[in-house]
Amino acid sequence: MDKGTPSSALPTCAISLNINGTNRVLDIHPWVTLLDLLRGPMELTGTKKGCDHGQCGACTVLIDGERVNACLKLAVSIDGAEITTIEGLGTPQDMHPMQKAFVEHDAFQCGYCTAGQICSAVGLVAEGRAHSRAEIRELMSGNLCRCGAYTNIADAIEHVLDQEGVTPLREAAE
Amino acid sequence: MLNETKVVGLPLSRIDGPLKVSGSAKYAADHGGHGMLHGYAVPATVATGRIVEIETGLAERFPGVIKIYTHENRPRTAKDDDKWKDAVALPGHPFRPLENDRILYDGQPIAMVVAESFEAARDAASLVRVRYVAEEPHTDLGREQTRSYVPPQPRREEFVPPEPRGDPQGAFGDAPFKISSEYRLEGEYHNPMELFASTVLWEKDGFLTIHDKTQGSQNSRDYVCNVFGLDPEKVTVKNSFVGGAFGSGLRPKHQLFLAVMAALDLKQSVKVEMSRREMFYLTWRPATIQTVSLAADREGRLLSVMHHALQATSRYEDYQENVVNWSGLAYKCDNVRLSYGLAELDVSTPGDMRAPGAATGVTALEMAMDELAYEVGIDPVELRLRNFATRDQNQDKQFTSKALDACYREGAARFGWDGRSFAPRSMRDGNDLVGWGMATGIWEATIMPAEAKVRLSADGKAAVSAAASDIGTGTYTVLGQVAAEALGVPIDDVTVLIGDSSLPKTGVEGGSWTAASSGSAVQAASDAVRNTLLKHAKSMPNSPFGQASQDEVTLAEGRLVLDRNHQVGVSIGDIMDAAGVSFIEEHGKVAPDQEQAKKFISYTHSAVFVEVKVDEELGVPRVTRVVSAVAGGRVLNPKTARSQILGGVVMGVGMALHEEGMVDHRTGRIMNHNIAEYHMPAHADVEDIEVIFVHEEDDKVSPLGAKGLGEIGIIGVAAAVSNAIFHATGKRIRHFPITIDKILETSEEVRCS
In angstroms, the Cα distances linking A118 to A67, A68, A140, A147 are 10, 12, 10, 15
> Would you say residue B249 has pLDDT above 60?
yes
Q: Does B679 touch chain A (CB under 8 A)?
A: no
Judged against a pLDDT cut of 80, whether residue B576 lies above it is answered with: yes
pLDDT of residue B353: 98
Predicted pLDDT at B161 = 98
Asked if residue A5 belongs to a domain, the reply is no
Q: Strand order of the sheet with strand B432-444? A: B428-429, B432-444, B603-615, B621-631, B688-693
Report if residue B608 sits inside a domain.
Answer: yes
pLDDT one-digit tens code per residue, B188-209: 999 999 999 999 999 989 899 9
Q: What's at B549, amino acid-wise? A: S
For residue A3, tell me if it sits in a domain.
no
What's the pLDDT at B3?
Answer: 39
Cβ–Cβ contacts within 10 Å for residue B593, how many? 14
CATH code, domain with B259: 3.90.1170.50
C-alpha to C-alpha distance for B452 and B500, rounded to whole angstroms: 12
The answer on B424 and B453 residing in a single domain is no
Residue A96 and residue A147 in one domain:
yes
Contact B646 A49 (CB under 8 A): no
Q: Do residues B220 and B310 both lie within one domain?
A: no
In a domain, A2, yes or no: no
Which strand (E) or helix (H) includes residue B729? helix B717-729
Rounded CA separation A67/A65 (Å): 7
Is residue B18 included in any domain, yes or no? no
Average pLDDT in chain B: 96
Distance CA A164, CA B474 (A): 30
Q: Do B25 and A95 touch (CB under 8 A)?
A: no
Q: Which residues contact B511 (CB under 8 A, 6 or more apart)?
A: B352, B444, B446, B448, B708, B710, B711
**Same domain, yes or no, for B342 and B474?**
no
- Structural domain contains residue A150: yes
pLDDT band, very low/low/confident/very high, at B354 (cuts 50, 70, 90): very high
Based on the fold, state whether residues A14 and A66 are members of the same structural domain.
yes
Per-residue pLDDT of chain A (174 residues; tens, 9 = 90+): 455 577 777 889 999 999 999 999 999 999 999 999 999 999 999 999 999 999 999 999 999 999 999 999 999 999 999 999 999 999 999 999 999 999 999 999 999 999 999 999 999 999 999 999 999 999 999 999 999 999 999 999 999 999 877 554 444 443
Residues B72, B90: Cα–Cα separation, whole Å = 27
Q: Are A54 and A107 in the same domain?
A: no
- pLDDT confidence bin for B398, thresholds 50/70/90: very high
> In angstroms, rounded to a whole number, what is the distance separating the alpha carbons of residues B192 and A148?
11
CATH value at residue A39:
3.10.20.30
Backbone Cα Rg of chain A: 18
d(CA B493, CA A136): 37
Q: Which of A8, A151, A155, A159 to mutate to test the interface with B (most CBs of B within 10 A)?
A: A151
Q: Is A88 on the interface with B (CB under 8 A)?
A: no
Same domain, B183 and B299: yes
B19 touches chain A (CB under 8 A): yes
Residue A118 maps to which CATH number? 1.10.150.120
Last residue of a domain, one of A61, A89, A117: A89
Examine residue B110 and state whether it is found in any structural domain, yes or no: yes
Last residue of a domain, one of A89, A124, A159: A89
The pLDDT tens digits for B90-145 are 999 999 999 999 999 999 999 999 999 999 999 999 999 999 999 999 999 999 99
User: Is residue B496's pLDDT more than 90?
Assistant: yes
pLDDT the model gives residue A166: 58
Do B477 and B623 lie in one domain? The reply is no
The answer to whether B18 contacts A108, with C-beta atoms less than 8 Å apart, is: no
Q: Clarify whether residues A68 and A97 are in a common domain.
A: no
- Collect all residues of chain A within an 8 Å Cβ-Cβ radius of residue B23: 44-47, 85-87, 115
All residues of chain A having their beta carbon less than 8 Å from the beta carbon of residue B276 are 50-53, 55-56
Residues of chain B with pLDDT > 70, as a percent, come to 99
**Residue at a domain's end among B228, B258, B275:** B275
**Domain end: B275, B298, B329, which one?**
B275
- pLDDT of A171 reads 44
Question: Which residues of B carry out catalysis?
Answer: 711
Q: Is B64 touching A (CB cutoff 8 A)?
A: yes
Residue span of the structural domain in which A67 resides: 10-89
Angle between helices B358-376 and B638-657 in degrees, nearest 10: 70
CA separation, residue B378 to residues B247, B426, B644, B722 (Å):
38, 16, 32, 18
Handedness of CA B41, B42, B48, B50 (dihedral sign): negative
The answer to whether position B442 is within a domain reads yes
pLDDT at B345: 98
What per-residue confidence (pLDDT) applies to B512? 80
Contacts of A158 in chain B (CB under 8 A): none
Tell me: do A113 and A151 sit in the same domain: yes
Q: B15: which residues sit within 8 A by CB, 6+ positions away?
A: B476, B477, B480, B491, B494, B496
Q: How far apart are CA B165 and CA B193, in angstroms?
A: 44
B547 shares a domain with B627: no
Boundary (domain end) residue, out of A89, A105, A129:
A89
Closest by Cβ to A114, choosing from B21, B195, B471: B21
Same domain flag for B587 and B494: yes
Q: Quote ipTM for the complex.
A: 0.97
Q: Is B690 on the interface with A (CB under 8 A)?
A: no
Looking at the structure, do residues A120 and A158 belong to the same domain, yes or no?
A: yes
Question: Which residues pair with residue B462 across a beta bridge?
Answer: B456, B494
What's residue B145's pLDDT? 94
DSSP string, B161-221: PPPPBS-HHHHHHH-SEEEEEEEEE--B----SSPPEEEEEE-TTS-EEEEE--S-HHHHH
**pLDDT confidence band for B510 (50 / 70 / 90):** confident
How many domains is chain A partitioned into structurally? 2
b/e B116-135 (16+ beta carbons within 10 angstroms → b): bbbbbbbbbbebbebebeee
Nearest to B193 among A40, A144, A154 (CB): A144
Answer yes or no: is pLDDT of B751 > 90: no
Residues B91 and B43 both lie in one domain: yes
From chain A, the residues in CB contact with B676 under 8 A are 53, 55
Count up the domains in chain B and report the number: 3
> Would A30 be classed as within a structural domain?
yes
Of A7, A91, A100, the CB nearest to B117: A7
Residue B378 belongs to a domain: yes
For residues A115 and A171, membership in a common domain is answered with yes
Residue B750 pLDDT greater than 80, yes or no:
no
Contact, A99 vs B22, CB < 8 A?
A: yes
Is B10 a domain residue? no
- Residue B521 belongs to a domain with what CATH number? 3.30.365.10
Looking at the complex, does the CB of residue A91 fall below 8 Å from at least one CB of chain B?
yes
Q: Which of B16, B118, B472 sits opposite A147 (nearest CB)?
A: B472
- Do A25 and A78 share a structural domain? yes
Whether residue B102 is found in the same domain as residue B162: no
Most distant CA atoms of chain A, gap in Å: 67
The answer to whether residues B692 and B709 touch, using CB atoms and an 8 Å cutoff, is no
A157 to chain B, any CB pair closer than 8 A? The answer is no
- B364 and B294 in a single domain? The answer is yes
- What range does the domain containing B294 cover? 146-188+284-446+599-745
pLDDT at A160: 96
Instruction: List pLDDT tens digits, range B7-20.
Output: 999 999 999 999 99
Q: Which of B591, B613, B640 is the last residue of a domain?
A: B591
Q: Are A157 and A115 contained in the same domain?
A: yes
Same domain, B465 and B535: yes
- Which among B524, B550, B542 is positioned nearest to B703, based on CA atoms? B524
